[in-house]
């Protein structure tokens, strides 16, 4: 029996990671595929029985998983990200949440004829948006920075607040038979807020100082943080039930906004752990679904979903954005995007278990109702949000910029020429001296390794459509191409040859499984470009072709005295000269080339 449980748990973990990988490949929220995997494993085949697998540990596992997920999310929130938009976020997690709660509860009460207590509980559960769904959705939608930051902050901060509201409604339901239900609920609210804010702030402050003063060895940072989060959550809940989620969220916010606290390794660890927990948790929860309860809801659930999507969410956003600097298109996009995620699924399962045990039969509808809203919001918004963002004019334009691996002389010369031609460039290097020189020349930079979890989290790829690997290290160029071809596409990654590449025989090059394009020409290498720039005094110049001076005339005039790099069309589209593809620039195109200084050419140096 134990072996069977080990195998089932291992299979759940493997399936969860497989779903995460597939979601990454197709750029859709992983929650969709995790949901389908759980439904197949549970209701459809009966292979996974979550209650039998975890037994009495199911409830603690759900609670601790949600605590870790919220803590990890709050660690990424920094107040400077929403400078000027604080009021909107504050309104969305207060007035906006109340509007969503009351409208959803009212619709549920009258459509399904549920008791007011359960309707209010369902409204509280579905008032939380899902950060685990919003973040991958934002990668696809690519809205303006203001919309993206508001949605991220709302998705993380509203979770503990919505969970707290659900706890209060739950306490009110249980105390409903007594005459002091309201007093009991208000007292519980005061305790939850007081303990959550106080304990979360104290733990965050003291632990931040421990990390800042290096009183804890680095190899203990990750496990100590995890242990402290779990312990703080448990202590907070033991003092006042329901305060733990607020405690760990405040703790994460406090740490994220303290100065000189080394959080990078902790973030890497917590992010990986959160992915694992989300994968397992959502499969386990969706495997508990009962299709008979879905059928019992019938088409009435569609009206509840529409009331959330078309009434409560838009009204919540419009109230929250009053007096803000958000444009009307940005407000409309915010009003459309509000997917529900793992926290809503988890707390609905928790309260359904508790209320069913307390004798509330209608509580069995909480889980299918919540999952209906999750499925509806995620599927509809994933499919339409990018189209709507484009129509409203608040989506990022088609990416035209360049990510350049390296900040050396060659990378700086090419980056400066592209920048002067009107393209965004971002130079990445782990050499601080090179980064300093690039910044002195007015180029945007990122200091660090281009292939790392820190880069994945902090590199601003807004508007970036192509990558040029211009490092003298061939291994780094290859690694960068393999990494960013999945993000930008295989036709958008390019690498310069290094000396070792030129020594490879033609036969070996022919059978190469390289998945990127070689820059500029078969005999062009990093060292040859460096020599041209330093010893020969060549410059990057631009020349516009015409009917009388076409590309053939350009090649005839310059011959070996120019290395064409890029060709820009009259409409602003840029093409890269490569070994694999022979370009035929037309009159009106502009050629960016490395030209011998003795050749005078119109354009910019």
pLDDT of residue 464: 81
Residue 97 above 80 pLDDT? yes
pLDDT of residue 503: 55
pLDDT of residue 231: 93
Determine the average pLDDT of the residues in 574-588.
Answer: 84
User: For 458-476, what is each residue's pLDDT tens digit?
Assistant: 677 767 888 899 888 888 8
How many CB atoms are closer than 10 A to CB 506? Answer: 7
pLDDT of residue 232: 92
| Closest to 463 in 3D by CA, of 144, 150, 146, 151 | 144
pLDDT of residue 180: 67
Burial of 594 (0-12, 13-18, 19+ CB in 10 A): buried
pLDDT of residue 202: 93
Sign of CA dihedral 536, 537, 541, 547: negative
Residue 605 above 50 pLDDT? no
pLDDT of residue 397: 67
pLDDT of residue 601: 41
pLDDT of residue 507: 45
pLDDT of residue 199: 92
Determine the average pLDDT of the residues in 184-191.
Answer: 79
pLDDT of residue 505: 45
pLDDT of residue 253: 84
pLDDT of residue 234: 92
User: For 372-411, what is each residue's pLDDT tens digit?
Assistant: 888 888 888 888 888 898 888 887 767 778 899 988 998 9
Burial of 327 (0-12, 13-18, 19+ CB in 10 A): middle
Alpha carbon distance 96, 582 (integer Å): 56
- Those residues whose C-beta lies under 8 Å from the C-beta of residue 313, and which sit 6 or more positions away, are 100, 335, 336, 338
Residue 214 above 90 pLDDT? no
Determine the average pLDDT of the residues in 504-516.
Answer: 52
Angle CA 323–306–31, to nearest 5: 90
HEC letters along 352-402: HHHHHHCCCHHHHHHHHHHHHHHHHHHHHHHHHHHHHHHHHCCECCCCCEE
pLDDT of residue 181: 65
Q: Would you call 106 helix, strand, or coil by DSSP? A: helix
Residue 82 above 70 pLDDT? no
Residue 504 above 70 pLDDT? no
Tokens 């769904």 — which residue?
Answer: 133
Supply 199's token pair: 């304990």
The residue with greater pLDDT, 251 or 555, is: 251
pLDDT of residue 318: 92
pLDDT of residue 387: 86
Counting residues of the chain whose pLDDT is more than 70, the rounded percentage is 89
Backbone angles phi, psi at 543, to 5 degrees: -140, 130
How many CB atoms are closer than 10 A to CB 414? Answer: 27
Residue 420 above 90 pLDDT? no
User: For 125-138, what is each residue's pLDDT tens digit?
Assistant: 888 887 667 777 77
The residue with greater pLDDT, 211 or 294, is: 211
Residue 457 above 50 pLDDT? yes
- How many Cα atoms within 13 Å fall on the side-chain side of residue 474? 12
Of 27-31, 179-183, 425-429, 529-533, the least confident: 179-183
Alpha carbon distance 191, 540 (integer Å): 67
Backbone angles phi, psi at 589, to 5 degrees: -80, 155
Q: How confident is the model at residue 26 (pLDDT cuts 50, 70, 90)?
A: confident
User: For 35-59, what is each residue's pLDDT tens digit?
Assistant: 889 889 888 888 888 888 888 888 8
pTM: 0.69
The residue with greater pLDDT, 19 or 188, is: 19
Domains of the chain: 2-392 (1.20.1530.20), 401-595 (3.40.50.720)
Alpha carbon distance 236, 192 (integer Å): 9
Distances (CA, A) of 111 to 107, 313, 319, 351, 433: 6, 18, 25, 21, 66
- Those residues whose C-beta lies under 8 Å from the C-beta of residue 530, and which sit 6 or more positions away, are 408, 409, 410, 472
């Amino acid at each position: 029996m134990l072996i069977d449980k080990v195998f089932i748990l291992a299979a759940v973990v493997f399936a969860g990671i497989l779903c995460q990988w597939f979601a990454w490949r197709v750029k859709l929220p992983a929650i969709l595929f995790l949901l389908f995997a759980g439904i197949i494993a549970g209701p459809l085949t009966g292979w996974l029985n979550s209650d039998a697998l975890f037994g009495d540990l199911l409830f603690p596992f759900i609670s601790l998983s949600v605590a870790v997920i919220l803590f990890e999310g709050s660690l990424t929130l920094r107040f400077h990200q929403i400078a000027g938009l604080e009021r909107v976020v504050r309104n969305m997690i207060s007035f906006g949440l109340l509007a969503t709660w009351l409208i959803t509860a009212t619709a549920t009460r009258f459509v399904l004829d549920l008791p007011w207590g359960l309707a209010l509980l369902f409204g509280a559960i579905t008032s939380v948006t899902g950060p685990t769904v919003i973040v991958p959705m934002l990668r696809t939608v690519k809205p303006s920075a203001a919309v993206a930051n508001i949605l991220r902050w709302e998705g993380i901060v509203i979770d503990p607040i919505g969970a707290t509201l659900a706890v209060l409604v739950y306490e009110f339901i249980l105390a409903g038979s007594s005459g002091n239900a309201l007093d009991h609920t208000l007292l519980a609210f005061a305790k939850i807020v007081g303990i959550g804010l106080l304990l979360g702030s104290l733990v965050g402050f003291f632990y931040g100082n421990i990390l800042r003063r290096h009183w804890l060895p680095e190899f203990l940072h990750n496990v100590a943080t995890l242990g402290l989060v779990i312990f703080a959550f448990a202590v907070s809940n033991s003092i006042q039930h329901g305060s733990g989620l607020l405690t760990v969220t405040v703790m994460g916010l406090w740490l994220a906004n303290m100065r000189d606290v080394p959080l990078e390794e902790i973030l890497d660890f917590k992010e990986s752990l959160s992915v694992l927990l989300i994968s397992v948790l959502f499969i386990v929860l969706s495997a508990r679904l009962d299709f008979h309860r879905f059928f019992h809801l019938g088409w009435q659930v569609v009206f509840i979903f529409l009331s959330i999507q078309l009434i409560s969410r838009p009204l919540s956003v419009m109230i929250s954005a009053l007096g803000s600097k958000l444009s009307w298109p940005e407000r409309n996009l915010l009003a459309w995007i509000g997917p529900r995620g793992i926290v809503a699924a988890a707390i609905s399962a928790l309260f359904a278990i508790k209320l069913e045990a307390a004798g509330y039969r209608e509580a069995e509808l909480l889980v299918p109702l919540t999952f209906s809203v999750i499925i509806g919001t995620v599927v509809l918004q994933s499919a339409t949000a990018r189209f709507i963002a484009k129509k409203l004019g608040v989506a990022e334009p088609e990416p035209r910029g360049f990510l350049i691996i390296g900040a050396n002389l060659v990378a700086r010369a090419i980056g400066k020429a592209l920048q002067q031609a009107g393209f965004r460039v971002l130079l990445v290097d782990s050499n601080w001296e090179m980064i300093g020189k690039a910044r002195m020349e007015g180029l945007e930079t990122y200091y660090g390794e281009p292939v790392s979890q820190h880069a994945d989290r902090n590199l601003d790829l807004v508007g970036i459509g192509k990558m040029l690997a211009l490092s003298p290290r061939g291994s780094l160029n290859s690694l960068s191409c393999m990494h960013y071809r999945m993000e930008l596409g295989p036709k958008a990654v390019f690498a310069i040859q290094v000396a070792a590449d030129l020594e490879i025989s033609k036969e070996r090059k022919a059978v190469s499984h390289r998945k990127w394009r070689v820059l500029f020409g078969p005999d062009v290498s990093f060292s040859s470009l460096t020599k041209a720039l330093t010893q020969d005094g060549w410059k990057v110049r631009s020349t516009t072709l015409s009917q009388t001076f076409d590309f053939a005339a350009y090649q005839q005039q310059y011959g070996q005295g120019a290395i064409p790099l890029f060709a820009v069309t009259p409409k602003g589209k840029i093409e890269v000269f490569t070994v694999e593809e022979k370009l035929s620039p037309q009159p009106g195109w502009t050629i960016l080339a490395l030209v011998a200084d003795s050749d005078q050419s119109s354009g910019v140096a």
